């Protein structure tokens, strides 16, 4: 009983100490695997990765066992007179067919996943992401077409609990359990909008629109970064997506439509933010 009480106290303390930290999906010190999945795509990437892991562990162990076996069984001492055998039909067919089967399994699974990731066929809403040197611009064409820019928060302006180089001034807000089409493009050079928990890493090209999709299955804050070398401040354009309930999203949209209608010349903000980043 006492033990349980202490555990719940610790959990409560952890959660109340920093909701931002407890719920944000972001890289952690000494992290080994992927970040937890928040979309069906990332769930499938997780299982595909597991499948590959099983296959490669099995192959590695098998080859290692063969090597150990031949060096023990067929070394000069144990086997002074080597056999002159050169062919074994069954063995040769096996070592051709088995790798083919493995490759077919990998390619079929991989192609299925690629097509699944490609697009959603019945999007309930669209988000546009436009890359700039060096910030993101987001547009909500289905909710009146308001748009805003999202900049990194410089070290000096960070508040407690906000992760360095992963915090932005304006988060993208999206509803959970909604098929969202994401259209991406760039205004200058190639950027890449990458959010690990969503299983998204897509190039933003000038003069071309690329498409991907998400269906976020839980509320939270999901962190990502630009993942294409796009110039001097490439490392200073993080992504922050806040996933909220559909009701909360509707309320946010109303506020956003008013707020972002007022935002004027964004070049002023560009100058402000870049002056605060140490060069």
By CB under 5 A, name the binding residues for Cu ion: 191, 226, 230
Least separation in angstroms between residue 231's CB and Cu ion is 7
Smallest separation, CB 192 to Cu ion (Å): 7
Inter-residue contact 129 to 137 (CB < 8 Å)? yes
Q: Which residues contact 96 (CB under 8 A, 6 or more apart)?
A: none
Q: Least distance to Cu ion from the beta carbon of 29, Å? A: 25
Nearer Cβ to Cu ion, position 200 or 230?
Answer: 230
Q: Of the two residues 184 and 221, which places its CB atom closer to Cu ion in the complex?
A: 184
The nearest distance, CB 208 to Cu ion, in angstroms, is: 16
Q: Which is nearer to Cu ion, 44 or 133 (CB)?
A: 133
Longest dimension (CA), the chain: 89
162 near 240, Cβ under 8 Å?
no
Q: How far is CA 12 from CA 4, 77, 160, 211, in A?
A: 12, 66, 19, 41
Shortest Å distance, C-beta 193 to Cu ion: 9
What value does the CA radius of gyration of the chain take, rounded to a whole number of Å?
26
Distance (Å, rounded) from C-alpha 268 to C-alpha 171? 19
Cβ nearer to Cu ion, comparing 166 with 230: 230
Smaller CB separation from Cu ion, 176 or 239: 239
Sign of CA dihedral 36, 40, 46, 50: positive
């Amino acid at each position: 009983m006492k033990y349980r009480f202490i555990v719940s106290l610790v959990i409560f303390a952890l959660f109340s100490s920093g909701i931002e930290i407890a719920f944000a999906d972001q890289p952690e010190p000494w992290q080994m695997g992927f970040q937890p999945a928040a979309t069906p795509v990332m769930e499938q990437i997780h299982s595909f990765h597991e499948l590959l892991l099983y296959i490669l562990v099995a192959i590695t162990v098998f080859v290692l066992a063969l090597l150990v076996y031949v060096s023990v069984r067929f070394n000069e001492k144990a086997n002074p007179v080597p056999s002159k055998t050169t062919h074994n039909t069954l063995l040769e067919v096996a070592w051709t067919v088995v790798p083919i089967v493995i490759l077919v399994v990998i390619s079929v699974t991989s192609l299925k996943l690629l097509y699944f990731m490609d697009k959603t066929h019945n999007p309930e809403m669209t988000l546009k992401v436009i890359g700039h040197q060096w910030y993101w611009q987001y547009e909500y064409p289905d909710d009146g077409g308001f748009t805003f820019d999202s900049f990194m928060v410089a070290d000096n302006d960070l508040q407690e609990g906000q992760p360095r180089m992963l915090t932005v001034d304006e988060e993208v807000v999206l509803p959970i359990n909604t098929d969202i089409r994401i259209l991406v493009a760039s205004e200058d050079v190639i950027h890449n909008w990458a959010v690990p928990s969503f299983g998204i890493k897509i190039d933003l090209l000038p003069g071309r629109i690329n498409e991907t999709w998400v269906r976020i299955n839980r509320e939270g804050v999901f962190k990502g970064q630009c993942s294409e070398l796009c110039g001097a401040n490439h490392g200073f354009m993080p992504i922050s997506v806040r996933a909220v309930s559909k009701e909360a999203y509707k309320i946010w949209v109303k506020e956003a439509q008013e707020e972002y209608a007022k935002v004027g010349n964004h070049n002023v903000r560009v100058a402000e933010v870049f002056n605060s980043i140490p060069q």
